[in-house]
Structure 1
Amino acid sequence: MHNLARDYSRWLHAGMMPAGGVMATQFTDDTLSEVLAYSSRRDSAIWTGTYLASEALRFMTTQAPDAARQIRDTLETLHLWWRIPGDPGYLARYAAPADSPAPIQAILSDSEEEVHRDVLYEGERWHWRGNISRDQYQGVMLGYSFAYEATQSPALRELIRKDVVDFIEQLMRSEEQPVAVRVGNSTLSTQVRIPYAVFSKVEAPDGEPALTLTLDPFEAAGKGVLFFSPNAAELVRQLPGLGGFANIYQPTESIQLGAMFNVALQVTEGVSEYAERRQAIAQHYEAHADEWLDIATGWRNSNQCADAYFGLNIGFMPLYSWIRLEQDPARKLRLQREVLRDAMWEEVKDHKNVFFAFIYASQAAAEDEVQSVADFHADQLARFPTAPNLALPRDLTGKYPESEQCEGLSAVAVNVDERVPASFTWERQPWKLVDGGTPNQVYGGVDYLMAYWMGRYYGFIADDAPGTCLLWRRDQ
């Protein structure tokens, strides 16, 4: 398993991190020597941040010098993605120099509305992809938290600190500004206060953020604005005629806020230059943390036949950080029992999801028996395909019982070695029986690296290659 981690690192760096960002790669032929195109281009931030977390865990487990270098390089890449868009706390999905090779240029096509080209940053021109979503922040914040713990470099710690604090202070502002709001067939321009939001001037139509609201069932979409509101009704009630709108609690957003504020407290602890700013963050957190926790206990899996399984990941990932970093013992215990164990783990315990299992096993309340959970899922991880992880066709018809409720899906979770490959297996539903595959497409293995180094860090997996040099070589 340790040797497989080395193999995945080699493949990842050889062809699946264009301009420093993690993607999947389709090659021109089965020699896998020439890049045809990159995919997963809208999800590079979340998986690059997750890769950073895996390297931080590797460094804390092994003290490998090359892991320290990867932490540095990946932090510098993500720092650029925070800064190039130009608005506080607004993260790019991906960015690359304007003079990049053709396959990278194709990632950032000028035909796509969310792509911004030839943006000047510190004297150089860049292309970047916007229209950021909440899930992208979760991988980046997870990576920043672990990287801050792993590195002792004052410069890298300050880089992390600046990005995180700027983001959290933006969320705290709750700015009031003109917004174009569309509800049904009506559009009005009005002043509203948008709590817990980041803004992008370049992505706002005519310079004014735009919101489209559907009230029953409630849905919200924005242009030039992304919000992390734990109660969406706080926004809706500001609109004419909707002052009595019922609460719309959002457990996943509450978990995200709890995690992100804790990361900000982590990276400012004991730093005198940030003492006043840290105090403001801490006061805000203490004023709202229990409210967010109460909302988080209402987390439910709303998936129907696994139509949006990725939503589970964007709850588990920040919950991992919130529990790890929470300093209040009573609050931490509620998170462990009521949110992690009783709500979320209970829902996925038979999914053979190694990432979720290792989060649960490492963060569970002391009274929970987790060794059998860790052992079973370590065995599943040992089944992970060898590198490179090709998008080969799958047809498991007849091998697994078919679900009576969900056509074309298995009634039980498919073993890890037989699953349809993906950029991050643990965010994809585990019941798919048939997939046509994609010729010569390779996935980078961040899913394996993150789970493996979690397993090593927490003692769920032993080193099966002690004393062996596992540094990948660039000439291989």
Structure 2
Amino acid sequence: MKFTCTDGKWEQFECMKEKGQLCEDGACIDPWHYGNPTFGTCPNPEFGTQETLAQKAAYYDDIAARLHIHPDLKWAAGATLKKVEVACADGEEGPCYAPIKSDLEATYEDVESWHTGENDGLWSALYLTSQAYRYAVTKSPEALANIKLLLEGEVIRMKITGVPGLFTRQYIPPHVPGIACPDPETLRHRYTTDEEKDDNQWVQIREDGCAWVVDRVTDEWTTTPGDMTEPHCGLDEFAGWCWLDNVSQDEYAGHMLALGAILKLVDDPEVVETVKDLNTQVAQHLVDNWLYFIDWDGRMTEHGRLQATCLAGFPGFLATLALNYILQGAVSSDDANIWHFYNECLLRKGGKRCEGWPYQVEEKYQNYLNSTGLYLGEHDCLSNWNNMNMILCAMHNLIWFEQEPTFRELYQDTMVEHITAAPDTERTMIKQKNAWFNFAHAAMKKLGPNSDGPAFETVEQGICALKEFPATKQQTAKDTVSISEHYCNTRLDGSDAQEPFSVAQRCIQTFMWWGDPYNRRTCSGNQYYYEVPGDYLMAYWMGRYYGFIPEDL
């Protein structure tokens, strides 16, 4: 709280309630800047690259915009480059091939095939998040252009479903080289509806602007599968496109992290209005459907359930996602009904259930937060890294957007004690050599007065991870089996080591921070294939924004 003297009177200003900040020396400042801390720089990383952090960021920002984003797709994707025949080396039998261009020159026009999948939206949104932080630090016109282009993709990703607030997992426009919808004849089964709604099926948009699928009972193309009585139309602008239904929590974790970061960090009016609209649509969809995502066919999506006691996940995990998504929508819209849903239906600040609440046995959502279910099995070996990342995405933004001190501190305590630094937990997040985990923890933990201060060691370990991050995301051969011993079986019967591997030792993945860092595996190289560098860029630019990484490091 700060006081200012105006017209001879002291005026009280509560920095946290008004701006989400702390008061220091009579000014409101962001919590992570309180006390102007200076962090260690990890001078001697074991597997450090010769490039500086800034040099790697410059390379990755360049290749991401140049190679990984096709302007007609409007999302970031992994890419396999075209190849050309070249002279063979001495003793090598022909024909011999090489990428059409080097990674320093190749553009989206040099792509042979785009690597698309059911989590396109998640991975692209995490890269989009990196650009929001980059823009906040640098005001880079290129970062803003990237944000605007990928936001167009976010709008399409929701609009193509024809359901406000509902993102698709994956969409494919016609006539983009290197990517195409599943063939409706040879891959007819990909468009066939399933009885249990536990598969992700493709939806075809035809010239009539309606959604077409193959009915599982009649085996005929139709606009009214199952119990639908009216066709799902009005999608004329997407004629010739296809999209994948049955969206999941995974997708929303990335979308909402990105939309929240952009709202907090980007000052472009057009961008802000777009983000506010998307946040509002998501929250309104959840309000209208009592915390469930309802698909285009009127059925509940398999992994789109955020009601805390629905048994689709641990109550604390689901409650965190629900609280974050509704709060972002409330802040974006300032809509009284969405605020009421957050304050009275979820938190029950008035002390009783809100009118119409259908889940009679449920408690206040803050009462569930401790039940995250993240660390499972002996030595935490049955843990689910998808859940770790999803809940951290949501908790990061929930803390960021909550400005009422009591609830903000509750969320911060939950994050530290049950998510990122859980005591008596062998594999808690900040022990995993994961820069994203470490920086999120350090930025959103309680800071300032009556706290234990900045997370100096955690931040420096995050910097070590970035220094050891590969200087390219070209697919290279790796082997963590031969350098470790089996410690335990994972939930999917894989093999884990006792200690986390450095990011330098692990197989290149779409988003390196998302996977199990203890996993023992081998992978082959592919000189044509490059993954999106959203992982390095998101952690790096977060570190820059929060003051953990100096510009010259």
Residues 1:196 and 2:291 are matched in the alignment: yes
Q: Which residues of 2 match residues 252-331 of structure 1 at below 5 A?
A: 252-269=317-334, 278-290=335-347, 291-303=364-376, 305=381, 308-331=384-407
CA contact (8 A) 2:507 2:523 kept: no
Q: 1:54 to 1:32 in 2, by over 3 A?
A: farther
Q: 1:380 to 1:26 in 2, by over 3 A?
A: same
Residue 303 of structure 1, CA deviation: 4.7
Q: Which residues of 2 match residues 120-131 of structure 1 at below 5 A?
A: 120=209, 121=235, 123-125=237-239, 126-131=241-246
Corresponding residue SS for 2:496: coil
Residues 1:358 and 2:439 are matched in the alignment: yes
C-alpha deviations, 1:242-271, integer Å up to 9, x for none? xxxxxx8522121111111121123235xx
2: CA distance, partners of 1:452 / 1:109 = 40
Residue 227 of structure 1, CA deviation: 2.4
Q: Which amino acid aligns with 1:115?
A: W
2: CA distance, partners of 1:381 / 1:35 = 28
Match of 1:231 among 309, 329, 333: 309
Residue 327 of structure 1, CA deviation: 1.6
Q: Which runs of 5+ in 1 are unaligned?
A: 175-194, 211-220, 236-247, 270-277, 466-476
Name the residue aligned to 1:392. 476
Q: 1:209 to 1:461 in 2, by over 3 A?
A: same
CA contact (8 A) 1:230 1:250 kept: yes
Q: 1:265 to 1:405 in 2, by over 3 A?
A: same
2: CA distance, partners of 1:62 / 1:13 = 16
CA contact (8 A) 1:341 1:364 kept: no
Residues 1:10 and 2:62 are matched in the alignment: yes
Residue 331 of structure 1, CA deviation: 1.2
Q: 1:157 to 1:360 in 2, by over 3 A?
A: same
Name the residue aligned to 2:26. none
Corresponding residue SS for 2:179: helix
Q: Which amino acid aligns with 2:319?
A: S
Name the residue aligned to 1:37. 113
Residues 1:66 and 2:126 are matched in the alignment: no
1: CA distance, partners of 2:328 / 2:470 = 33
Corresponding residue SS for 1:25: strand
CA contact (8 A) 2:324 2:397 kept: yes
Residue 84 of structure 1, CA deviation: 1.0
Whichever of the two has the greater Rg, that structure is 2
Q: 1:105 to 1:421 in 2, by over 3 A?
A: same
Residue 368 of structure 1, CA deviation: 3.4
Corresponding residue SS for 1:382: helix
Residue 348 of structure 1, CA deviation: 1.9
Q: Which amino acid aligns with 2:474?
A: L
Residue 60 of structure 1, CA deviation: 0.7
Residue 314 of structure 1, CA deviation: 0.8
1: CA distance, partners of 2:238 / 2:390 = 34
Residue 138 of structure 1, CA deviation: 1.4
- Normalized against structure 1, the TM-score is what? 0.79
Q: 1:324 to 1:116 in 2, by over 3 A?
A: same
CA contact (8 A) 1:420 1:432 kept: no
Corresponding residue SS for 2:79: strand
C-alpha deviations, 1:254-303, integer Å up to 9, x for none? 1111111121123235xxxxxxxx11111110114432222121112255
Q: 1:293 to 1:100 in 2, by over 3 A?
A: same
Q: Which residues of 2 match residues 60-139 of structure 1 at below 5 A?
A: 60-101=136-177, 103-105=178-180, 108-110=182-184, 111=187, 112-113=190-191, 114-119=201-206, 120=209, 121=235, 123-125=237-239, 126-139=241-254
2: CA distance, partners of 1:404 / 1:77 = 41
Residues 1:449 and 2:534 are matched in the alignment: no
Corresponding residue SS for 1:69: helix
1: CA distance, partners of 2:115 / 2:403 = 40
Q: Which runs of 5+ in 2 are unaligned?
A: 1-52, 84-97, 102-109, 192-200, 210-234, 348-363, 423-427
CA contact (8 A) 1:394 1:433 kept: no
2: CA distance, partners of 1:116 / 1:425 = 31
| Percent of residue pairs identical | 19
The 10-residue stretch of structure 1 (333-342 or 374-383) with the greater mean CA deviation from structure 2: 333-342
CA contact (8 A) 1:96 1:128 kept: yes
Q: Which amino acid aligns with 1:339?
A: M
Per residue, is there more helix in 1 or in 2? 1
2: CA distance, partners of 1:294 / 1:300 = 14
2: CA distance, partners of 1:262 / 1:133 = 19
Residue 59 of structure 1, CA deviation: 0.8
Q: Which amino acid aligns with 2:237?
A: G
Match of 2:464 among 369, 373, 379: 379
Residues 1:168 and 2:278 are matched in the alignment: no
The 10-residue stretch of structure 1 (8-17 or 371-380) with the greater mean CA deviation from structure 2: 8-17
Name the residue aligned to 1:413. 500
Corresponding residue SS for 2:57: helix
- Normalized against structure 2, the TM-score is what? 0.68
CA contact (8 A) 1:82 1:92 kept: yes
Name the residue aligned to 1:177. none
Q: 1:345 to 1:151 in 2, by over 3 A?
A: same
Q: 1:109 to 1:325 in 2, by over 3 A?
A: farther
1: CA distance, partners of 2:537 / 2:173 = 27
Q: 1:32 to 1:438 in 2, by over 3 A?
A: farther
Name the residue aligned to 1:209. 299
The 10-residue stretch of structure 1 (152-161 or 362-371) with the greater mean CA deviation from structure 2: 152-161
Count of paired positions? 404
2: CA distance, partners of 1:122 / 1:396 = 50
CA contact (8 A) 1:393 1:437 kept: yes
Q: Which amino acid aligns with 2:293?
A: V
Q: Which amino acid aligns with 2:471?
A: T
Name the residue aligned to 1:180. none
